[in-house]
Chain A
Amino acid sequence: MSDQTYATPVPQSSPPQRDYSAFDADLTGQAFNFQLFARLLRWLRPYRLTVAFSLLFILLAAGLAVMLPVVTGLVVIDNILRPESVSGEEPDFGMTELTYLISDVSGYTPLIAACILYLAMVTAQAGIMYLHRITLASSVLKALRDLRVDLFSTLEDKPSSFYDRVAVGRVMTRVTNDIESLNELLTGFGMLVGEFVPFFVALFLMGAISPSLTLIVLFAIPIAAVATYFFRMAMRDIFRLIRNSVSALNQYLQENLIGIQVVQLSGREGMNEEHYGRLNHDNRRFEFQAINYETLYHSFNESLASIAIGAIIWFGGGQVVQDEITLGAMILFIQLITMMIMPIVGLGEQFNVLYRAMASGERIFQAIDWDERLKEPEHPVELPPRLRGEIELRNVHFGYNKGEPVLKDVSFNIRPGEKLAIVGPTGSGKSTIIRLLARFYDFDDDMIFLDGIDLNQIRSRDLRRRIGVVLQDFHIFSGTVRDNIMLNNPDISPQQAEQAARTVNADGFIRQLADGYDTHLAERGQNLSQGQRQLLAFARVLAADPEILVLDEATASIDTATELVIQDALHKLTEGRSSIIIAHRLQTIQECDRILVLHHGVVREFGTHEELIKKQGIYYTLHELQFQDGAIAAELAGADTEEADSPVEQQADDDDDGTPPSMREPDSF
């Protein structure tokens, strides 16, 4: 690059500043968000035929459900039991004719015929309801499965800058609990439809029989609505208080369990019990408050139907006496009223589900809409089947945050097959170089080249297939040792995996495990030592057989024997591969062809061991120090509390503290 770049520093290549706090905020779904439903429809669309059938079934079932009281009220009571009172005007949807038809055909009395009709309708209704339920469940479950997988796919593509800021637990609950809430919502909605369709059919029927009596029934609706509204208002704050108190309770318990030995050794049991007791007491107080409102409200709802029945007797009875309606019609009203009140009460109960689901939906779509992803080339360059393995960094400027440059004008190159060691104190930007080469972060064009091709012109997936990255922290996925080497990559055969393990000296200890390669490893794999994890990491990357190797050497202190094994493995691993190694050990550095000294994001020295020793600069000093203890170097190099090299410090902490992120989620009431 020209000198001009030197004169005017290129603008910081840093991602746009984003507000990640949205991921930590507790979305409450206050507003009724209809857009959410519209978006959900997109996932339901592939199953629209099933959904349509489901709706058809519920309409049929609802119609039949309403016809049952018609049979008892208008047919049995009016026509059969009190034939003297029949006016013949009540709309009975042909039920009377049907009953007499059955009676004529079968020869049974009309009463038995009514029984047969009743039984037939119940059977039909139950059968249709069954069809409704399974069609609904099938479509909703499949749609949500698709949504879940889609959400998961977008999360897989989020770059490191995203996971640096957003706690895994926060995102994880979106894929699990939030989708479950939507399931509750959609099936709950199906249930509500199942109750509201009969509601309207019944209303229509009642209106046809006696409009004035129907109005009285309708009067119950606003009352229930107002009660629900006040209940919700009263409960909102209490629910929040309960949620907070429960999560305080759980956090305290969890911390005490983790630090139980400190608690016991400090003799704090009594004091802590008191504190826990206070938290427990707070929780009980809020729960008590909540049930005060809750019982008032629910009992009211339960009484609503009986009040309406009283009103029907009062007014309806008068109408019967005046021959405006039949007795059967009045009894029909009494039987229908339960069917009418239920969905209204149900709606009130569904509100909680609805609001929670609304918040869940918001969280899900927030994650889906989060458009942070790696820049991918519009016209990607296809990499040749065989790379030469030449890497060049040209005036690389980079920072995770605006105004905080981590790499300043870094330039160097690696020749095909060459091994380069990068050394420097913590915070010098070593790890950042690895993260850029692995394309974990976006950076400006024309800064990093692979075989002369700008990295930004290569699809990140293509690139990652060719560049093998060994991170300091070896992540164990629960599964067998073999699974962990293969990582479910279909291109790697079990034989290759074992061959790779043999090459990097991991075979020996693996065979000594209980089930050899089939030994099950737990996620936090405490059953493996640091050295063993390092060897497994080597095996994993070797199995994938990349052409270029980028390796962040583990800093943890390992005993001398293990170190020898690892050194040997490293030697075999880098054989014939262009390699960049962030080295902490003298031996590792001596393995390399050239050495790059990085300090505060600037290349201070670059050359072979002999050249740098001759120079008597930083490397010379570091060499004198023998690179024996990375930890001390880190401690002395400043950065006591914060590792400037890492974009967000807590990341490593999050991985290590053994706390499942889910634990931090407040237990919802």
Chain B
Amino acid sequence: MPNGAHRQAQSAQYAGTAPRGKQGSFRDLGHLRRLFPYIRHYRGPLVITIIGFFLIRFFDGTVPLFIKSAVDSITEGEPSLMLPALGIFAVVTCRYLLFVFSRRLMRRISIALSYDLRKRLYRHVQKQGPSFFNKYSTGDIMSRSINDINLVRRLVAFAWVTIMTFVFSVSIALIFMYSLSPSLTLFVIPPLPVVALVAFKMSRTLFPYVREQQIAMGQVTSYVQENLNGIRTIQAMSQEEVEIQRFSTVSTEYADLVFRATRFRAMMNVVMPLMTTALPVIIIGYGGSLVISGEISVGTFTAFFSYLLMLTGPVRMIGMTLSNLTTGAAGTARLFEVLDYEPEIRDQPKANVPASIEGHLQIKGLSYSYPGANRSALENISIDIEAGETIAFLGRVGCGKSTILKSLVRLIDTPEGTVLLDGHDIRDYPLGRLRQDVTLILQDPFLFSDTLRLNVTYDDPSRMDEPIWTATDAASLSASIREFPMQLATIVGERGITLSGGQKQRATLARGLIRKAAVLAMDDCFSSVDTETEEEILAGLKRLRKGKTTLLISHRVSTARHADRIFIIDGGRIVESGSHAELLRKGGYYADLEAIQSNQDQDRQRKAKLLHDLVE
């Protein structure tokens, strides 16, 4: 199975990004029952393939009978060769058709199953909240969706078929053999379980070797990746020789481990044929004596040799099959670990919520700590925001201001009754509608590698040009877009042009503004935008957001002063609140900040003008 080997190399590539847990052990086999609900869907075709594979083995079992009849007819001096030959041709033809049919059906089931699982995984992951994504990195989920689903597919397509083949081949061969010569068959049976047991034991011993080998490959991969990513540093520090030396060590270790695994496999390949040799030797010795004593014919003697292939072939494969089975089971376990993860945010809307939103937000005694964190991110936050108000949050990095905004759109799960929109708990609104009415623009300006148009209209791609331009105008992005040769059709990101940090930020801003939500929450959306442009955008927003609730996070007093009320957050608590003037009078943190920044802000504006003149 060269394909399988290649896939392993592929998964080794991911070893660097998401460490593979384990290669699989027999304890994992229990996880396979998780696949039943998915397989049950295909039980009709599955039964058909089982029948198909049974018939195939049955046909296989008849071929030695034809050989026997031909050989016997010769030894008896009345040669009848055409019938056996034609018989074989007929059987082969039927077997061929049946084999194509069954194998194709089986592979189709495996492909369809991986399709189903992938679909399920995607749907499941999309519903997850922050605690899930804290636990599973992108690389980890990718690895599950690629490698583990492939393992399951291989399990269904190959391991399952091999098991069927094993059962059918052995039983049919034994039945036919018994019908030819019961005594010889009884002599042949005892070594079989011994062979199977040894194959089983040895392949079990092989697992750790394979695991070691995969880990070592992961080390080689991450070594190269890291080295090449930092090649400038290495060259600048003149450390190439040392790096080559170290890589040589890593590579040698890897080669040694592969060699050890290969040596063990070679050992298995010595032991297994030696074990199975008992069978032909029994046939030659005991069978031969039966021929001499006239109890069986030479034809039967020959047929036994042919049945031998049907017996030993699958028995020798048992090791590989079991390893496929256990790796598949481990893959299943990893897959269902993710699929079993309950989305923390549940969409359980109640009917009594209002149809249209005014924008009155109440936060009542909200405390929150992130899963796994030992200190709380928010402590007893209470804010009442009237519809149409503009609110600003200020505070140090990590003070909890982003968490407040996230709580409004249920990116984190808030306790019941702590966050209310127009008097109703936000948990009562349908999640989709809540997030539509309360638009949060995230701090991290993430754009999809798609056109600007599709990025700005991400929530609803069917929008016309006009609202798009209105939004990009409001975000001061229109001028930049007009400079691109492809305008709105410009592809950004990995496959397109690279936008500057400021442009990205303004594009994400436009993506939020286009939704004209009753409540708009902006998480530090101007950090990469210069003060002048920011002022321009804020002025526009004042017009656009008239009468609508707007919340924003900023580090700049010049931004916050536009708000009706300003909240200073520190250590998850509100430490100051009030209007710009009130806070200045109070002479606290905000006033200090203002004193430091106002001076700087003036300079920055002057600086901007001067630099502008200079460059022109």
Contact = CB atoms under 8 A, between A and B. Distances in A.
Interface in A262-320: 262-269, 271-273, 276-277, 280-281, 283-284, 287-288, 291-292, 294-296, 298-300, 302-303, 306-307, 309-311, 313-314, 317-318, 320
Contact of B217 (A176, A636, A660): A176
B179 interface: no
Nearest to B306: A334
A298 B103 contact: yes
Contacts of B133: 257, 260
Contacts of A489: 237, 239, 242
A138 B108 contact: no
B17 to A, nearest CB: 5
Contacts of B305: 72, 331, 335
B6 A184 contact: yes
A411 interface: no
A152 B232 CA distance: 15
Nearest to A112: B285
B274 A123 contact: yes
Interface residues of B, number: 151
B449 interface: yes
A488 B258 CA distance: 27
A440 B73 CA distance: 84
Nearest to A77: B298
Given A168-B225, A349-B2, A621-B614, A295 B103 contact: yes
Interface in A247-261: 249-250, 253-261
Given A265-B409, A313-B85, A176 B220 contact: yes
B266 interface: yes
Nearest to B258: A141
Contacts of B70: 313, 317
B416 interface: no
Interface stretch (B19-27, B166-174, B431-439, B563-571): B431-439
A115 B6 contact: no
Interface string A149-167: 1001101111010010000
Given A81-B298, A152-B224, A257-B125, A310 B259 contact: no
A260 B126 contact: yes
Interface stretch (A127-135, A202-210, A402-410, A570-578): A127-135
A173 interface: yes
Contacts of A219: none
A264 B220 CA distance: 37
Contact of B255 (A141, A176, A271, A277): A141
B262 A137 contact: yes
A157 B240 CA distance: 8
B270 interface: yes
Contact of A636 (B91, B145, B608): B608
Interface stretch (B32-40, B110-118, B372-380, B584-592): B110-118
Which secondary structure dominates where chain A touches chain B?
helix
Given A295-B103, A313-B84, A633 B111 contact: no
Interface string B212-238: 000001001110111111111111111
B263 interface: yes
A177 B9 contact: yes
Nearest to A65: B273
A315 B332 CA distance: 52
Contact of B266 (A134, A471, A632, A650): A134
B74 A640 contact: no
A253 B604 contact: no
Most buried by B among A126, A277, A318: A126
Nearest to A155: B228
B3 A145 contact: no
B85 A291 contact: no
Contacts of A307: 88-89, 92
A118 B145 contact: no
A309 B497 contact: no
B138 A149 contact: no
Interface in B344-360: none
B528 A631 contact: yes
A310 B259 CA distance: 43
A657 B182 CA distance: 70
Nearest to A158: B231
Interface stretch (A37-45, A376-384, A386-394, A661-669): A661-669
A153 B500 CA distance: 36
A257 B141 contact: yes
Interface in B1-32: 2-3, 5-6, 9-10, 12-14, 16-17
Contact of A172 (B126, B224, B277, B499): B224
Q: Which of A256, A284, A299, A663 has the most CB of B within 10 A?
A: A299
A80 interface: yes
Interface stretch (A445-453, A498-506, A561-569, A622-630): A622-630
Given A77-B302, A176-B221, A314-B81, A126 B270 contact: yes
Nearest to A256: B126
B270 A129 contact: yes
A523 interface: yes
A353 B123 contact: no
Contacts of B47: none
B100 A296 contact: yes
A133 B262 contact: yes
A598 interface: no
A380 B600 CA distance: 52
Contact of B270 (A130, A618, A631): A130
Nearest to B224: A175
Nearest to B105: A295
Contacts of B236: 438, 440, 464, 469, 471
Contacts of A122: 273-274, 277
Contact of A177 (B13, B81, B608): B13
A115 B287 CA distance: 11
A292 B104 contact: yes
A267 B234 CA distance: 45
A475 B255 contact: no
Contact of A137 (B86, B146, B266): B266
Interface stretch (B386-394, B440-448, B468-476): B440-448
A662 B119 contact: no
A156 B243 contact: yes
A111 interface: yes
B122 A273 contact: yes
B575 interface: no
Given A313-B70, A628-B604, A464 B229 contact: no
Contacts of A172: 221, 224-225, 228
Given A317-B74, A523-B226, A653-B498, A181 B9 contact: yes
A258 B446 contact: yes
Contacts of A306: 63, 88, 91-92, 95
A41 B432 CA distance: 63
A21 interface: no
A177 B16 CA distance: 13
A152 B118 contact: no
Given A119-B277, A299-B99, A81 B607 contact: no
Interface string B165-209: 000000000000000000000000000000000000000000000
A311 B305 CA distance: 19
A137 B284 contact: no
A310 B88 contact: yes
Given A141-B258, A262-B508, A334-B302, 9 more contacts: A81-B291, A111-B292, A137-B258, A177-B9, A253-B142, A257-B133, A461-B238, A468-B237, A642-B498
7 contacts: A141-B255, A160-B232, A276-B122, A280-B118, A299-B100, A488-B239, A635-B530
By Cβ-Cβ distance, the 10 closest A-B pairs, closest first, are A310-B88, A317-B81, A475-B230, A314-B85, A133-B266, A266-B459, A625-B607, A464-B238, A137-B262, A469-B236
